[in-house]
Structure 1
Amino acid sequence: MTIPILSTKLNIPLSRPKIVSRPRLIERLNTGFQRRLTLISASAGSGKTTLLGEWLERCERPVAWLSLDAGDNDPARFLTYLCAALQTIGRNSGEGVFALLHSPQLPPIESIVVAMLNEIETNHNPFVLVLDDYHVITSETIANAIALLLDRMPSYMHLVIATREEPCLPIARLRVRDQLTEVRDTDLGFTKAEAAEFLLAVMELPLGAEDIAFLASRTEGWIAGLQAAALSFRGQKDVSSLIEKFSGTHPFVLDYLLEEVIQHLSPVTQTFLLRTSILDRLCGPLCEAVIGDPCGEYGSTTASGQDMLEALERANLFIVPLDNERHWYRYHHLFAEILRKRLYQTKLSSDGHDEAAQCHVRASVWYEKQGLEIEAFCHAAAANDVKRAARLVEGGGMPLLFRGAVTPVLNWLDELPKQVLDARPSLWVLHASALLMAGQITRVEQKLLAAEHALHRVEQDATQRDLLGHIAAIRATIAVSKHQSETILAESKRALEYLHPDNVPVRTAAVWSLGYAHQLQGNRKEATKAYADALATSQSIGHKMITILATLGLGLMQEADNQLTLAVETYQRVIQLAGEPPLPVVCEAHLGLARIFYEWNDLESAKQHGERSVQLARGIEQSDRTVAGEVLLARLMLADGEVSGASAMLATGEHVARQYHFQNQMPNIADAQVMVLIRQGNRTAAAQVAQRHGRYISQARVHLADDEASEALTILEPLRMEAESKQQEDVRLTVTSLLAVALHMHGEKEKALRMLRDALTLAAPGGFVRMFVDAGAPMVRLLREAAKHAFMTDYLRKLLTACEAENMANQLETVHDAEHHLIEPLSSRELEVLTLIAQGLSNREISEQLFIALATVKGHNRVIFDKLQVKRRTEAVARARLLGLLQDFHP
């Protein structure tokens, strides 16, 4: 579900019919277009919004306006409104962000801001973005987003921030770089001439020059103070004597003046003001709902709420219209604060009830009827109506947590006393869910234990069982991040046993986690079924997160079954589903693509996806996905001849895995370390690593590197039988290819060729290459032997070319002979292209042979010619043979 948008937050406040024009400040704001940020930082009542309204009326640029409130500290809600504000001026910005707002965890803030700016870049017309009341924002995440926006936004975009407090932004740096225009309290204060115009023309208060000068001095030009003074003096006989009594700093003056204003209003108007002061925004129907009339004191003949609002505006009584139709208003902030203070001091109404709480409840009821559940919840929480707030949070099957209210809900739950939570165990479960969504995983189990303890003391019914099921589903989700298959399996089954049949969202999540448990345990058939079931249900109910995760799971199963082309399509579908910017979980799709492109020997594409995976994985708390991505990048470095770099990266990955107990990554790290150690010639250490971690295939690789074919066969033959019985197609292919090499080394050439034929039959549909390349020189010899028998010619030729190029590159890396004669060594891909050139293939034939674009082949040619310092193909081949780069490259 999307986050409801309150359109009045996006409307530029209308300027009053009578205002004091501020040409000196308007000119300063106009010159600010040359800089990135205009900061209007001043105390309440200093005229910030009025100045902005006057300026923007004259501004020729489109203006996106956003009035902020405390609820906007939730990053998802803030981003929703920010994008909505940009769309009011026709900016194609925010669609990608909107798609992510109901997800459990936002992507990294940098990704969101960059995506937003990329969309803004589609239209280069100048515009202004205004953030009003920025002082209500206390979220560090949002502050970081705005700082990043300031740093990277285009020159035709200008940001204006109006705030009571200094924002947590790099103000000093912007000031030094002349990227900041500032308007402060001292700038906004009325001069004596402006104060006179305000009091005489705007407030229509007949005062002498001395009284005006005295008031201007006492209030220090503070506009709210002057306005309050004028209101309190209306109808008074001896104004001069009253003026002489004013003293003190702004807050005290304002308290006194507002008291003076309020006490001269009718009881009906005072009641209206006090009860509606709890609202951030006001409209007639909402005010009527909040006023109520429990004691009949408001009177049935009273004007409507809309009439009252318009009357307050005509009286210039600290009320600001928010739209052209005069439908929505807000009180001046300090005026509202004083009214609320007085309301809470009154506390009890004549019937003994908490009047403020009653007003909040009535507001909550009204907002809920309008479909604005977040606002309804906030008022229920303010009323301390736990039952109503809890019901709103639960959301009738789709919790409010999924609608952009994680922060307010979590703050409310954090403040509730233990006895309240114990009395309603569902709140403990909601607390755990909110913490999980906020990424505070370490606190989740504590809340779940408290929920279980509270549930033990109540009689079990369908509701209680459903809560127990929800608890189990949360535990299963936590166990997924830790790859604890037994825990996932047990908790998922428990969740499905206890969850109510109607609780479809949580049941679907449990089915998905059950699939992951089957995957970890190697039960691929059951895993695929669970993922497919979860996908079908999540698509039917619009549960986007499970749709993404289940699709991802199916991609992993396709990859394990050697269906690489199909898996690529599935992983790309995951990326499309996640939108832009992507969810952090999409790191798994990029990692899958990196693995497949590596297997296809497209190392450049593999590197791009590997680096993207690591970048996204850093946005997930307590996840081993970063290490998984770095292991793949290390293997890419090894394939490119950067043996030392690969070794260093794996050492770092191992340290992180041990530090954070990422045991699931240790086998992958060990396999990669064995390959590095073999390349370094340190086979003893390689054997020790493989044995210590129980990596049988890696042990076989070490034996093959040591020409110990018998020992390798002893390991590989049982592994092949086991892989076939368990239908583990990926393991079966790897073992079969290595088994063919071992048999060839053992002198069983005919059997080796039959085994190779089996391996090629398994590998050809998926287009596997690196599996053969990584087997090293023994595989080259076997493929050459196979080439003489001329079976599967095209695929065999491709593999032989790749393996020979890699083998020669490894030889050159060891002896460094050619490196002393070249400006820069040839890469594996360049050696591959050079080999095909020597074989007489045209550029087009090379592109078809290697499955790369013709332009890419031509690009490789230019680089090869530059490195060999030649100009023609024939010269390149001759020089390569002279340097020993093409020796024995004859299939």
Structure 2
Amino acid sequence: MVAKTSSHSIITTKLSAPECDGRLITRRALFDAFVRTQGSILTVVAAAGSGKSTLLAEIHQSLATSGTGLGWINLDPDDDTPSNFATYLVAALIRLDPGAKFDDLMLQGRTPFRDIEPLFRRLLAHVSNLPRDAVLFLDDFQHIQNDVILFFLNKLLASAPPTLRVVIASRQRIPLDLSRFRLRNRLIDVQQEDLSFSAQQAYDFLKLSHGVDLGQKDLALLLETTEGWPTGLQLAGLALRKHACQTSQLIEKFSGRDRDLSTYLMEVVLRSQPEAVRQFLLATAPLTRMSAGLAAAVSGHPNGAAMIEHLSRANLFVIALDREGGWYRYHHLFSSFLQDQVTATDPTLLSRVFERASTWCEAQGLTTEAIQYALDGQHYDRACDLIATHAATLTMRQGDHYTVLEWMRRLPERYHLRTPELALAHAWARAFSRDSDRATAIADRVLQQLRSQDGWNLPQQAVTEQSFVARVIQVMASGANDEIDNAIELGIALRKELGDDRPFLTSSICNTLSYGYFARQEFELSARTASEAYRAGHRAGVPYPTVWAIFLQGVAALEMGHVRSAFEHSGRAVDCAHTAESSRGYSSAMAALLSAEVALQRCDLDRAAEFMGLGRSFTATFGPLYPLFLAYRIDARLSALRGEPDHARRILMDGQDTALSMGQPRLYLNLAIEEVTLRLNAGDITGAMESVARTQLLEDRTLKQATTFRGEHDALKLLRARLALANGDAALALRLITMLLQQQPSTGSVSFALTLRAVRAHAMWADQRPSDAIRELDKALSSAALEQHAYPIAHAGPGLIPILKAIVERRGDAPLGGDLRVKRALESTLLTTLSTEDQSLAIAATGAALHDAKPTETLTDREIELLRLVEAGLANKQLADALLISESTVKWHLHNIYSKIGVGSRTAAVARARELTMLK
């Protein structure tokens, strides 16, 4: 079937193996070795009509009941772009391994990002960890010529685990490096001659499929003419069944297994059909796939289902694309022949078919297919109307920028300003696709035409509303382009003009303002403005800008040291993202990114890694700068804390390349500072200095560029102090850090201040001042303990370990009160994290320390309601149904409850909640 979701729709029949017709001759001998050999590759290279897809379908069917994971892609010319190929490959991997979490990869695959490498690396990582035997089928591989895709597939095949096998069918030589598999006897290479039918197979096929019983002489002549070509025999069977003359006379007219033969036989087959069947075949030939309803709509036949059934019974090259018999396609060779006939006899029929197909798909809610058919048929007026109707909802309210950009790519540029709705949807998508200059240019052009009424002739109210949208895009594009002061100035003025009657635009502009205040480190103002955006988004009933608002509230709260508040915001973001199924990709990724950052700030590495599975998509998707930076930073920090410094550095260098390609110097600067810092934390002083030299971080012009933003300016000064400390000049490091602490505003970043104090403690320890170092670090611990704000302290590096041990030793076994117990939990977490040991030890230590202490967080009403249902014995699915939420949201709430009250199971959570009188 075709996915009916209009926003993120992919054609799911491309992911389905054709049904294996039981009347066909088995080719089991050709793939027995493949089934038995782990890590093997089976290639099928043969001309059209040789039975490649049929062979693949039989292999697929033979494995379907074996417990093997199966993924299939029917490739077509559109898949020879990295983003399209990645989209369908990820979708196939989801079917191949349904238990895996591929949401982030699906989002990345649907995105027109400029750098495919991050996604392909993620795909390689997923494939290398497949938990069970799996087979990936790639049919019609001749369409793939893109060097980037081929390079990736070579790497995938080279690094694939033994559990993965691959089947590739192509009409042309497969341009992949398969020599190593041939040398290891793991390549099963099926050629043209292998697919040709023997005399017995040909006899059985004609008898079973067509009821044609050829004598030995006629069969030999037919085999000589067709050389056992399966499609030639299929066509011959159809012709022989219908032809009135003697069998030998018809066979003698065959000219051989080439285009002449196929054309002759197809003409014979087509002429032998009743007029109604012939007209139906020609009318449906342009369809890439068809259902009974679609076929009836384009052909005018009153019963499309009956006609398709007739074609199937008559073996007229109709292939079922699903088990339910809902969708079909013609054999490629037959489809090509039919379309040639249409072009030769009635060139206007193609255009009519595409128009009717577009109309039918629109009525069925298949918006993407409706627009594709309108574009295929060059019905650009209709395509414009459809895109203008649906694009604004997709890009502005659901965050699906890729679909809109793909439509606009196919639509000739002369139509791009056909309506203001069309142009502004395009501009909005550009603003969030790292193309803010183009977004601004389109918005400017729209405003000019609105003022001049050049060609649109809109009523004044419409002019006013579309002008507001264009101006909002201008402000957002400025923010996305890191022109923060300009975005804030324009945004404040526009916010006043919008009033309270346009909540969606108000939410969008307030989000931009909040983002700008955050960049200027005005965190309280950022949080307040994000709250306004949240309220407006709720009034508008649009989850996408609402999730953005919650994200901004959360990251501002983290900078102010309010980790518990950020934790609550992350929960709200997850809930809000799950309310909008069509926008789950972008919104859920943003919610996951915030949740990952909150978990990392508490040094809960396992939970942070779990959320980064989806949040990582920002490293290969849209802007603006901060979510992209956050995604790179979290990923790199997790790798560094797990003892993988080289991988962490590669992540950050990839981010730097992205920043350069985007023209984002501030993103580049932040990622470069992070790279040097992580190398220092790993004890690689030489490598850190190499990174400094490569990125020119200590150049005067770099510092001058950074002065525009206080955060980057201070981060560079801290880096200078850390480099001095690493090179043995503790006194200089102390002076620099002390000056930084004195200059920190009271409204500045609490998170950064914690790191400053922790590095200062390290410098004091290195300067032979252990007592001062202990006191300084204890100040940081006291500030962070209540919120369990661990990472800013851990970010000072392993140099804190001896100071932490000294603090623990001085305290000894003295009984501790609640507040000191919470501080001890933080110390335990830090020691475990900095020692890069099993993070579960830190989580267990934290839970044990918190168990007897007063909880630092209370349960929300929703969490208490959920616990009551848990106490009643409801399973997760029942909990989800009772609370009208998803099972994943139930699991998220349970995880939060465990973290808040220091338990590890449902039973313990109920008992602990009763002990704390949270349940009555």
Q: Provide the rounded CA distance (Å) in 1 between the counterparts of 2:483 and 2:675.
A: 25
TM-aligned CA distance change 1:175 to 1:681, over 3 Å: closer
Please tell me the residue identity of whatever aligns with 1:42: A
What letter corresponds to residue 128 of structure 1 in structure 2?
A: V
- Whether the aligned pair in 2 keeps the contact of 1:321 and 1:329 (CA below 8 Å) is yes
Could you tell me which of 637, 649, 652 is aligned with 1:614? 652
Shift of 1:844: 11
In structure 2, what is the Cα distance between the partners aligned to 1:7 and 1:793? 54
Correspondence for 1:311: 310
Is 2:29 the counterpart of 1:21?
Answer: no
Match of 1:769 among 757, 760, 767: 757
Give the aligned partner of residue 399 of structure 1: 394
Match of 2:595 among 570, 573, 581: 573
Aligned pairs (5 A) from 1:12-411: 12-31=17-36, 33-59=37-63, 60-62=65-67, 64-70=70-76, 91-94=98-101, 96-97=103-104, 100=107, 108-110=118-120, 112-113=122-123, 116-117=126-127, 120-121=130-131, 124=132, 126-136=133-143, 146-147=153-154, 149-167=156-174, 169-205=176-212, 207-233=214-240, 234-247=242-255, 250-292=258-300, 304-347=303-346, 354-394=348-388, 396=390, 397-399=392-394, 410=405
Q: Post-superposition shift, 1:380? A: 1.4
The amino acid across from 2:18 in the alignment is: P
Partner of 1:815: none
Cα separation, 1, equivalents of 2:57 and 2:784: 73
Residue 334 (structure 1) shift: 1.6
2:826 alignment counterpart: 851
Q: For the residues of structure 1 that align with 2:771 and 2:384, how far apart are their CA atoms?
A: 68
- One-letter identity of the residue aligned with 2:652: V
From the superposition, tell whether residues 591 and 781 of structure 1 become closer, same or farther in structure 2 (CA, over 3 Å): farther
Residues 256-655 of structure 1: pairs in structure 2 closer than 5 A = 256-292=264-300, 304-347=303-346, 354-394=348-388, 396=390, 397-399=392-394, 410=405, 413-424=408-419, 426-433=421-428, 451=446, 456=452, 457-458=454-455, 459=457, 461-489=460-488, 492=491, 508-536=507-535, 546=545, 549-563=548-562, 566=565, 573=595, 580=614, 582-584=616-618, 588-589=629-630, 614=652, 617=655, 622=662, 623=664, 624-638=666-680, 642-654=684-696
Whole-angstrom distance in 2 between the partners of 1:54 and 1:608: 45
**Whole-angstrom CA distance in 2 between matches of 1:858 and 1:422:** 55
Name the TM-score, length of structure 2 as normaliser.
0.68
Per-residue CA deviation, residues 652-706 of structure 1 (Å, 9 max, x unaligned), is 22379989997568735742463267558899xx9xxxxxxxxxxxxx9799479
Q: Which amino acid aligns with 1:160?
A: V
Provide the C-alpha distance between the structure 2 equivalents of 1:401 and 1:432, rounded to a whole number of angstroms: 10
The structural deviation recorded for 1:87 is 6.1
> Counterparts of 2:631 and 2:134 in 1: how far apart (Å)?
36
Aligned to 1:745: none
Render the CA deviation track for 1:628-648: whole Å, top value 9, x for unaligned. Answer: 133134235446765443333
Cα 1:187–1:68 shift into 2, 3 Å: same
CA contact (8 A) 2:238 2:269 kept: yes
In structure 2, do the counterparts of structure 1 residues 491 and 268 end up closer, same or farther at CA, with 3 Å as the change threshold?
A: farther
Partner of 1:728: 747
2:127, 2:160 within 8 Å by CA — same for their partners in 1?
A: yes
Instruction: Measure, in 2, the Cα distance between the counterparts of 1:28 and 1:153.
Output: 19
User: After alignment, is 574-583 or 853-862 more displaced?
Assistant: 853-862
Q: Is contact 2:475-2:491 (8 Å) kept?
A: yes
Asked whether the equivalents of residues 429 and 471 of structure 1 are also in contact (C-alpha less than 8 Å), the reply is yes
Q: TM-score, normalised by structure 1?
A: 0.70
Q: For residues 467 and 408 of structure 2, what CA distance do their matches in structure 1 show?
A: 19
Query: What is the CA distance between 1:446 and its match in structure 2?
Result: 5.7
For 1:189 and 1:11, locate their aligned partners in 2 and report how far apart those are by CA, in whole Å. 25
Return the alpha-carbon distance in structure 1 between the equivalents of residues 260 and 400 of structure 2.
36
CA distance in 1, matches of 2:395, 2:780: 61
State how far apart, in whole Å, the 1-side matches of 2:773 and 2:393 are: 64
**5+ unaligned residues in a row in structure 1: which ranges?**
293-297, 349-353, 687-699, 735-762, 799-805, 811-825, 863-891
Task: State the AA in 2 paired with 1:109.
Answer: L
Counterparts in 2 of 1:44 and 1:441: CA distance versus 1, 3 Å: farther
Question: 1:778 offset after TM fit, Å?
Answer: 11
Secondary structure of the corresponding residue to residue 696 of structure 2: helix
More deviation in 827-836 or 309-318?
827-836
Judged with a 3 Å threshold, the aligned counterparts in structure 2 of structure 1 residues 80 and 661 are, in CA distance, closer, same or farther, namely farther
After TM superposition, give the deviation of residue 574 of structure 1 in Å: 5.3
Deviation at 1:399?
A: 2.3
SS of the residue corresponding to residue 398 of structure 1 reads helix
Contact 1:422 1:454 in 2 (8 A): no
SS of 2:614's equivalent in the other structure is coil
Residue identity opposite 1:187 in structure 2: D
Partner residue in 1 for 2:890: none
Task: Specify whether residues 342 and 400 from structure 1 end up closer, same or farther in structure 2 by C-alpha distance, changes over 3 A only.
Answer: farther
CA contact (8 A) 1:174 1:180 kept: yes
Aligned to 2:847: none
Instruction: Output the amino acid matched with 1:671.
Output: K
Q: How does 1:784-795 map to 2 (within 5 A)?
A: 784=772
Secondary structure at the aligned position of 2:205 is classed as helix
Structure 2 gap ranges (5+)? 571-592, 598-609, 620-626, 786-792, 838-920
> Superposition pairs for residues 686-835 of structure 1, below 5 Å?
704=735, 723=745, 728-730=747-749, 769-770=757-758, 772-773=760-761, 776=764, 784=772, 828-832=799-803, 835=806
- CA deviation profile, 1:232-278 (whole Å, cap 9, x unmatched): 34323144344444336623432332223222322221211111112
Q: Using the TM superposition, give the Cα deviation of residue 331 of structure 1 relative to its aligned residue in structure 2, in angstroms.
A: 0.8
**2: distance between equivalents of 1:412 and 1:359?**
20
Q: Any idea what SS the aligned residue of 1:38 has?
A: strand
Deviation of 1:357 after TM superposition, in Å, equals 1.9
Residue-by-residue CA offset, 1:325-371 (whole Å, 9 max, x unaligned)? 444321111211221222233446xxxxx332222122122222222
Q: Tell me the equivalent position of 1:820.
A: none
1:101–1:389: structure 2 CA closer, same or farther, 3 Å change rule?
A: farther
Deviates more, 1:323-332 or 1:306-315: 323-332
Shift of 1:835: 4.7
In the TM superposition, what is the alpha-carbon distance from 1:305 to its structure 2 partner? 1.1
Q: Counterpart of 1:674?
A: 720
Q: CA deviation at 1:205?
A: 3.7
| Cα deviation digits, residues 767-818 of structure 1 (max 9, x gap) | 9732533665899879759979xx98995999xxxxxxx9xxx9xxxxxxxx
Shift of 1:45: 1.0
Write the letter of the residue equivalent to 1:44. Answer: A
Equivalent pair of 1:42/1:165 in contact (CA under 8 Å): yes
1:675 partner amino acid? A
Cα shift at 1:90? 7.6
Report deviation, 1:308. 0.9
What's the secondary structure of 1:851's corresponding residue? Answer: helix
Change (3 A) 1:241 1:536: same
Change in Cα spacing, 1:237 to 1:25, as seen in structure 2 (3 Å) is same
SS in 1 for 2:223: helix
Partner of 2:915: none
Q: How many residues align?
A: 756
Query: What is the CA distance between 1:514 and its match in structure 2?
Result: 2.0
